[in-house]
Amino acid sequence: METFKRLKDYYWPYKRLFLISILSLFVVTSVTVIYPLVLKYTIDDVFGQGQYGQVPYLAIGFILLMGVKGVAVYYHQYFGDLFGVSTVYELRNELYTKLQYLPFRYYDSAKTGDLMSRLAGDVEVFRFFLSFGLAQCLNFLLLIGFGFAIMLYLHPSLALVTFIAMPFVAITAYRFDKQVHVAFKEIREAFSALTTKVQENISGMSTVKALSQEDFEITTFTGKNKNYKDNHISTAKIWSSFFPIMELIGNICVVALLVYGGWLVIHEQMKLGELVAFFSLVWFIIGPLMQLGFILNSYSQSKAAGERLLQVLDERDLAPAGEEQDAPKAKALNGHVTFSDVSLVYNEANEKALHTISFDAPPGKVIGLIGATGAGKTSVTQLISRFYAPSTGTILIDGKNIANYGHQELRKNIGVVFQESFLFSCSIYDNIAYGNPHASLGEVVSAAKYAQAHEFIAELPDGYDTLLGERGLGLSGGQKQRIAIARAFLTKPSILILDDATSAVDMETEFMIQQALREVMVGRTTFIIAHRISSLKHADEILVLDRGQVIERGTHEQLLALTEGSYRRIYHIQYQDQLTAMQERTGEWSRT
């Protein structure tokens, strides 16, 4: 029960609903076990002693009992379901909130399909047990308790003989639960893997079709689907062995009742009505015993689902280990960023992503970052936003250690445009205003104009009200980047980070965006990650990175002056075609 104890905070506030449901169930069970007593009275007293005038009263009493039971069943089921739904409403909200605040490190290894499976499937399994499975467990206990108590009242020795097989029931149920819990946990994991595969396939369908990998995807999915099927089959084998054993135990109880009870009736040590009542009570008990497998099934599934939910809830949010959750909130920042001997290791198995990086970026300064893929450019900017914490060294913003700023308030002062621009499935207006929901249409249009996005947006049938497909489907890569740039502009950040933000636009659009950026960057600290030197030429300082280290630094002109420098080599590679063309034209002019 440890799993349910740890999830207590989510269902205990709704204990009143649960209590009403259980009290109603108590009434239902009480009325149910009265039936055998009515049978006993009817056979032994009414018909046995010829009191036929009691029949109408018995009929009316029976109808009244039916009415009471019907009302109790309604309240039991309604409040039981309300209890489960209310609980998982809070639990699902808590899980979703948790996912918003988990650090980047968590998402480095987390899989979208798996998280969707937990948030939807596992939560629903837990709800079903709270709404129905838990009530079935209590109904099982109440029926056996009430039934056995009445049996002992009617004939103690016959009750003991009838229940001689109960220890075998307990042993069988315990062994079944131990096996089926593991089986259901494997089923949940297999289903999660299946969901992840479907999600990845749909998200990457363009890549699948571009590389003609449909057959490979089908084969991979078939393997995961087979694993899911095999887990179900293994569970079915456990079930198949459980039910015959439970049925055998139930039949042993019936046989013991018939043999010993019949002997008592024959020897007039027991009345026939009592034996009939006993027989009815036994079936009220054997019925739940036969359903014990379903009860354990629901319990085991919910326990496995609860464990998977706790794995998410137990994750520490807000990335840096040992961080104070009540760190003071930052107000409007000037944006003075200082790195002092900063190093970064993503995890113990990895080498250092950054080695003793140092630079100073006062407000209004533009820092350019260039280098090969994996050189550490993005790592530098991710540290500024506190997506990760530095392993060693110090990062200061406005002279204060970055760890002393609250995450949300810090990030509200930072505008980031990622290389892969993510757009939501809503209107273009809502996408641009995502970081500033209270922005007016005029402010949104102004930001779009700075990002050179207004012209193509205005040409769309619904303009800024145009609804986008999933991940911005329907727009080109360059159009999505320009909307993302407009979104960053609209937040009016103190620090602006452009992570290869113009990689998907043409040279002419890039030039126009850069012209607009010069006005936007005034008074703001700006970091530009780029592979195109044309995006960095105007930077106040350019850092050339290689394997996490700064190997060159300076302005565009200073770096070009280094005859053996990496920056100079990159420059010549990018401009070789233009230089060759110029040389050819120069040669033609000379000959002319």
pLDDT in tens, 45-102: 777 676 777 778 778 887 888 899 899 999 998 999 999 999 988 898 888 888 888 8
Lowest model confidence (mean pLDDT) among 50-54, 168-172, 290-294: 290-294
Per-chain mean pLDDT for the chain = 81
State the Cα–Cα distance between residues 187 and 231, nearest whole angstrom.
6
Query: pLDDT of 210-261, one tens digit each?
Result: 667 788 888 888 888 888 888 878 877 776 777 777 777 777 777 877 888 8
Taking the CA atoms of residue 223, residue 228, residue 230 and residue 236 in that order, the dihedral angle to the nearest 10 degrees is -170
Compare 262 and 112 and report the one with higher pLDDT. Answer: 262
| Residues 264, 275 contacting (CB under 8 angstroms) | yes
CA-to-CA distance for 1 and 315, rounded, in angstroms?
A: 21
**Arithmetic mean of pLDDT, 268-283:** 80
Q: In angstroms, rounded to a whole number, what is the distance separating the alpha carbons of residues 146 and 227?
A: 44
Residue where the block lists tokens 């990335």: 319
Q: Over the stretch 336-351, which tens digit does the pLDDT of each residue have?
A: 999 999 999 887 667 7
What pLDDT shows up at residue 241?
74
367, pLDDT greater than 60: yes
pLDDT digits (tens, 9 = 90+) for 306-320: 888 898 888 876 544
pLDDT at position 326, please?
45
- What does the block give as tokens for 94? 């808590």
Most confident of 18-22, 149-153, 155-159, 226-230: 18-22
| Dihedral in degrees, nearest 10, Cα atoms 211, 214, 218, 219 | -50
Query: What number of other Cβ atoms are within 10 A of residue 229's Cβ?
Result: 12
| Residues counted in the chain | 592
Whether 1 shows a pLDDT value over 60: the answer reads: yes
How high is the pLDDT of residue 591? 47
Exposure pattern of 292-322 as b/e (b: 16+ CB <10 Å)?
bbebbbbbbbbbbbbbbbeebbeeebbbbee
Residue 117, pLDDT score: 80
* Residue 552 pLDDT grade (very low, low, confident, very high; cuts 50, 70, 90): very high
CB atoms within 10 A of CB 108: 10
Report the percentage of the chain scoring pLDDT > 70: 88
Given a contact cutoff of 8 angstroms between Cβ atoms, the answer to whether 441 and 428 are in contact is no
What tens digit of pLDDT does each residue of 484-539 get?
A: 888 888 888 899 998 876 665 677 777 777 776 777 777 889 999 988 888 888 89
CA separation for the pair 85, 131 (Å, rounded): 8
The pLDDT of residue 587 is 54
- 7 class by beta-carbon count within 10 Å (0-12 exposed, 13-18 middle, 19+ buried): buried
Collect all residues with Cβ–Cβ distance below 8 Å to 353 and sequence separation of at least 6. 344, 345, 346, 376, 379, 548
The mean pLDDT value for 367-374 works out to 89
Tokens of 239: 């079930």
Bridge-partner residues for 371, per DSSP?
A: 545
pLDDT at 327 over 60: no
pLDDT value of residue 336: 94
Q: Say what percent of the chain tops pLDDT 90.
A: 17
**CA pair distance 183, 265, nearest whole angstrom:** 47
Q: How many CB atoms are located within 10 Å of the residue 518 CB?
A: 11
Residue 158 pLDDT: 80
Q: Which of residues 551 and 481 earns the better pLDDT score?
A: 551
Q: How many whole angstroms separate alpha carbon 455 and alpha carbon 460?
A: 9
Give the burial class of 139: count Cβ atoms within 10 A of its Cβ; 0-12 exposed, 13-18 middle, 19 or more buried. Answer: buried
Burial class of residue 587, CB neighbours in 10 A (0-12, 13-18, 19+): exposed
> 156-160, 216-220, 414-418: which range is least confident on average?
156-160
pTM of the model: 0.72
Q: Is pLDDT larger for residue 368 or for residue 295?
A: 368
For residue 187, the model assigns a pLDDT of 80
Among 23-27, 508-512, 572-576, top mean pLDDT goes to: 23-27
Instruction: Please enumerate in sequence order all residues whose Cβ is within 8 A of that of 377, keeping only pairs 6 or more positions apart, or say none.
Output: 369, 370, 371, 499, 529, 545
DSSP 472: G
CB neighbour burial string for 438-477, b if at least 16 within 10 angstroms, e if fewer:
ebeeebbbbbbebbbbbebbeeeeeebeeebeeebeebee
* Exposed e or buried b per residue across 383-393, where buried means at least 16 C-beta atoms within 10 angstroms of its C-beta: bbbbbbbbeeb
E strands in 6-58: none
User: Is 505 or 397 the better-scoring residue by pLDDT?
Assistant: 397
For the segment 109-151, what is each residue's pLDDT rounded down to a tens digit? Answer: 777 778 888 888 888 888 888 888 888 888 878 888 888 888 8
Walk me through the domains of the chain, giving residue ranges and CATH numbers.
2-313 (1.20.1560.10)
pLDDT digits 0-9 by tens, 439-470: 899 999 998 988 888 988 998 888 999 888 76
For residue 312 the two structure tokens come to 């998410």
Q: Tell me which of 169-178, 386-395, 410-419 is least confident.
A: 169-178
The alpha carbon of residue 462 and the mean position of all alpha carbons in its chain are separated, in whole angstroms, by 34
Other CB atoms within a 10 A radius of the CB of residue 281 amount to: 27
